Chains A and B, each alone.
Chain A
């Protein structure tokens, strides 16, 4: 057995880093180990050693170093038992753990030197960890000579000094050039200066690069890690990486590495369910894991989101109580956010079963500590049953920013390039500045947005701005009026002093080549200071976002090859069934599930499939199935729907209308028609007021049916709008009738002859009743 041979170049880099890192941590915890040896009850030392073996375990599981994995896992088990109070740290145990820590160091050195190391004593090392193990004589290993290192690890302070020295050099060069231009310069001196300039520019690039790294350096290891981890756990995970070209300070990349790996491992192990569980929950079998980086104002956001089961807060609280981290009274008094935050408590794990992958909750406290160490923050957005988003914000302070330089009056400002959508000149018909009340707005190619004239805001002039920079902020887009746009420039942005930050319009300051300080504008801050109010816009940066505008619907390929959508609320779950469980009996297709039979709707043949996916639909009372070819994804139905023409085909009768999703025409299945089993007829288009009762039945079932019949359905009347007819359930009567009311009942049978209500699935009667009331 021999760890560390036959690796690709990429793995080689990772391995080198692992070796360097382990070596460094080993040196750092040498003191902790000694302290723990003298006082084995010291919890802080124990935690430090525990974190070390945990990190080694994590890294080597991923780098495929089985020997190290085995040793570190064994040590971790014992240390966990000590942490939980199940074992007492006596001298034998301490010796055994230290033996393993030493061994880890030896193996790491051997890997680095490319030497082989005899593994015959490892079993005894691990055996020594067992309770009542006989103390072993210390194992004498022949130290493998350290290989000459191919890389140097530098102190970031040194890089900082190099960087500031470089800036001074550039300024001195500029000064010299100016002075030479002013006097009569000898051409030879000019040539020398030219050479100097080139060298300085080149050096500067190099020095700058030493500090910056694409976040790709952090993300490139993920696909392999996700693949290996999910395979090990028998899960299927699709990894989506976004924003790998965002640049981040090298130091931050180093510090983000462990937290990121921990979080991703946790997401796969604890978050994403097994394929069976996912199927049962109506999710696609493969989990979706999105890792993205983006720049937002003066911060970098690294977001890890999964569509797994989320965090079970109740269980976290129970665990915290069980492990006596807090008293029951404290726990009861906690806000939901504080309860969720318990996940960051040291020693707490939400998982009952310990796996080789993410273990026992050592992760999250380390994650938070590392991120806070770099002045960042970590936020959890928990959506139980649907997934978890973890957002780490780290400051941009040391990052190089691509900026757009704008000029107002005689002063220049920088604006983060990624917040700029486009630059337009105010001339011709395409762009018009208008005044609405006392607010300024611009109309750019038919799109109206608020205008903030920077000169006006900054008291630098009152002329209408000739150039507009369209900036997009998280709140909304607006046009920033400036005199001219000069250039784009890469700048090192530093934080400005509190007196300057207090204005709320700057994100930092920078010193460009001309030696004149320049302020970096904060686009979102300017909008706030200028008093812009944007209507709340739902974030749509991830697909599993539930708060999307419009009704969420499942997009699927139907058996006849058409792409269709159906309201998500109707779907109980999606599951594969054997084709031979579906029979045509008593004039209809029926599906046997367990001991029950439910009707099946299928618009095409099953071909030679042995298994077919069905949507299990329910309106809360009855159930039916809809056979499909393949579920695609969850989308939001746009508000605009072209009503269907009632055709003669079987499929056409069940279509409420057509919507545009991602530029593609998609038929929307009419669940009302499905459940009613009756096609609808077209009527003329008046307004129908739905008295919703909170169950969503009206919006989900009735609305598409009525809209397919040509009514426009609203749940509240807009000002000046009158309803032709109002609809209400029998148990949720209309409070103030503004229109004739049609009452719907749940039962098929009328309550006496004079009962005016209509059975809710009796579509012809319903349409007729609406038409009749409208005529009153």
Chain B
């Protein structure tokens, strides 16, 4: 039994995102800063007539900030709000079998909280990440 996953790169790593969580993949235009918001909130961007909250995925995962030049984002909807999760790049969408996290695998930083399982692509394991956990409610820098 396999599910559809979007294969993307975040902070240099390949990850798999459950396609059910993905609304669309876009290139974000100008980002308006939100003063006083937590660092993982890069700002606001317009997506057609909609305003999305842009998430600096690097900071949200407790890693280095995502470079400003990276503007590709995965749009996800949580509780009626649209979020743009910045990613390095997006490869494709394909069905994979969802595997449990290998026991004894020591994920560190934000990876530990967002990783929910594995998929194997051509023998290469990719972490399945839960976008809802990448979002604001996640603790900053684990």
Nearest A-chain residue to B83, judged by Cβ: A497
- Chain B nearest CB from A493 CB (Å) reads 11
Q: Which residues of B contact A171 (CB under 8 A)?
A: 46, 48-49
Q: Is B141 an interface residue (CB 8 A)?
A: no
Contact call B36/A168, Cβ cutoff below 8 A: no
For the complex formed, measure the closest distance between the CB of A397 and the CB atoms of chain B, giving whole angstroms.
Answer: 11
Q: Are B49 and A164 in contact (CB under 8 A)?
A: yes
Q: Is A516 an interface residue (CB 8 A)?
A: yes
Residues of B within 8 A of A164 (CB): 49-50
Chain B residue total in the interface (Cβ 8 A): 24
Bound-state Cα–Cα, A510 to B49, Å? 10
Residue from B48, B49, B50, B136 within 8 A of A499 (CB atoms) = B136
Tell me the bound Cα distance from A165 to B48 in angstroms.
Answer: 9
A665 to B69, CA, bound (A): 70
> Are A509 and B35 closer than 8 Å at their CB atoms?
no
Chain B residues in the interface with A (C-beta under 8 A): 30, 32-38, 40-41, 44-46, 48-51, 53, 79, 81, 83, 135-137
- The chain B residue with its CB closest to the CB of A498 is B136
Chain A window 457-488, contacts with chain B (Cβ cutoff 8 Å), 1 for yes, 0 for no: 11110000000000000000000000000000
Q: Which residues of A contact B38 (CB under 8 A)?
A: 499, 502
B46/A519 in contact, CB under 8 A? no
B33, B35, B45: residue with the most chain A Cβ atoms closer than 10 Å? B35
Q: B83 to chain A: which residues have CB within 8 Å?
A: 497
Decide if B50 touches A500 in the complex (CB within 8 Å).
no
Are A516 and B30 in contact (CB-based, < 8 A)? yes
Q: B49 contacts A516, CB within 8 Å? A: no
15 contacts between A and B (CB under 8 A): A164-B49, A168-B48, A171-B49, A459-B36, A495-B81, A496-B44, A496-B53, A499-B40, A499-B41, A499-B136, A502-B37, A511-B46, A517-B45, A519-B32, A529-B36
Query: Is the C-beta of A335 less than 8 angstroms from some C-beta in chain B?
Result: no
Complex Cα distance A671/B136, Å? 65
Give residues of chain A (239-272) contacting chain B, Cβ–Cβ below 8 Å: none
Query: Are A457 and B51 closer than 8 Å at their CB atoms?
Result: no
Say whether B53 contacts A168, CB under 8 Å: no
Q: A517 touching B51 by the CB < 8 A rule? A: yes
Whole-angstrom distance from the CB of B19 to the nearest CB of chain A? 22
- In the assembled complex, the Cα of A458 lies from the Cα of B32 at a distance in Å of 13
Contact of A511 with B34 in the complex, beta carbons under 8 Å: no
A656 in the interface, Cβ–Cβ < 8 Å?
no
Q: Bound complex: CA of A517 vs CA of B41, how far in Å?
A: 14
Complex alpha-carbon distance, A509 and B33, angstroms? 12
Q: A500, B34: Cβ atoms under 8 Å?
A: yes
Q: Which of A458, A499, A500 has its CB near the most chain B CB atoms (within 10 A)?
A: A499
A-side contacts of B79, CB under 8 Å: 498
CA distance A27 to B63 in the complex (A): 58
Q: Quote the shortest CB–CB distance from B66 to chain A (angstroms).
A: 16
B63 smallest CB distance to A (angstroms)? 18
Q: State the CA gap A497–B44 with chains docked (Å).
A: 10
Q: A497-B136, A516-B30, A519-B32 are in contact. List 20 more A-B contacts (CB 8 A).
A: A167-B48, A168-B49, A171-B46, A459-B36, A496-B81, A497-B81, A497-B83, A498-B79, A498-B136, A499-B40, A499-B136, A500-B53, A505-B36, A509-B44, A509-B51, A510-B51, A515-B46, A517-B32, A517-B45, A517-B51
0 or 1 for each of A504-527: is its CB under 8 Å from B? (1 = yes): 011001110001111100000000
Among B34, B46, B48, B53, find the residue whose CB has the most chain A CB atoms closer than 10 A: B34
User: In the complex, what's the smallest C-beta–C-beta distance from A700 to chain B, in angstroms?
Assistant: 50
Q: How far is the CA of A505 from the CA of B35 in the complex (A)?
A: 9
Give chain A nearest CB distance to B11 CB in angstroms.
Answer: 20
Query: How far is A551 from B74 in the complex, measured between Cα atoms in Å?
Result: 63
Partner of A411, one of B33, B36, B49, B50: B33
Most buried by B among A168, A505, A511: A511
Q: Which residues of the other chain, A, contact B40 by a CB distance below 8 angstroms? A: 499
- A649 contacts partner chain B, Cβ-Cβ < 8 Å: no
Residue of B nearest to A510 (CB): B51
Query: Knowing A494-B51, A498-B136 touch, does A516 contact B46 (C-beta < 8 A)?
Result: yes
Option from B35, B49, B81 in Cβ contact (under 8 Å) with A167: B49
Residue A503, interface by CB 8 Å: yes
CA A500 to CA B43, docked complex, whole Å: 9
- Chain A 353-397, CB-CB to B under 8 Å as 1, else 0, gives 000000000000000000000000000000000000000000000
- Closest-CB distance, A555 to chain B (whole angstroms): 48
Query: A709 vs B93: C-alpha distance in the bound complex, in angstroms?
Result: 92
Closest partner residue, chain B, to A509 (CB atom)? B51
**A515 to B44 CA separation, bound complex (whole angstroms):** 11
- In the assembled complex, the Cα of A495 lies from the Cα of B44 at a distance in Å of 13
Interface centre among A165, A167, A411, A517 (most CB of B within 10 A): A517
Which among A495, A499, A510, A515 is the interface contact of B37 at CB below 8 angstroms?
A499
> A540 CA to B62 CA in the complex, in Å?
50
Contact A411 B53 (CB under 8 A): no
C-alpha gap A494/B38 in the complex (Å)? 20
A458/B44 in contact, CB under 8 A: no
Give B55's nearest chain A residue, CB to CB: A499
Q: How far is the CB of A492 from chain B (nearest CB, A)?
A: 10
Q: Are A498 and B35 in contact (CB-based, < 8 A)? A: no
Residue of B nearest to A164 (CB): B49
Residues of chain B with a CB closer than 8 A to A495's CB: 81
Please indicate the chain B residues that have their CB under 8 angstroms from the CB of A517 in the complex. Answer: 32, 44-46, 51
Which residues does chain A contribute within 8 Å of B45, judged by CB atoms? Answer: 517
Contact A460 B136 (CB under 8 A): no
Instruction: Enumerate the 8 nearest inter-chain pairs by beta-carbon distance, A residue then B residue, closest first.
Output: A458-B35, A167-B49, A499-B136, A517-B44, A497-B81, A497-B53, A503-B36, A517-B51
Instruction: Give Cα distance in the complex from A228 to B45, angstroms.
Output: 54
Contact status of A519 and B50, CB under 8 A, knowing A411-B32, A497-B83, A503-B37: no
- Chain A 162-173 against B: per-residue CB contact (8 Å), 1 yes, 0 no? 001101100100
B53 contacts A459, C-beta separation under 8 Å: no
Instruction: Contacts A459-B35, A497-B81 given; indicate if A502 touches B50 (C-beta within 8 A).
Output: no
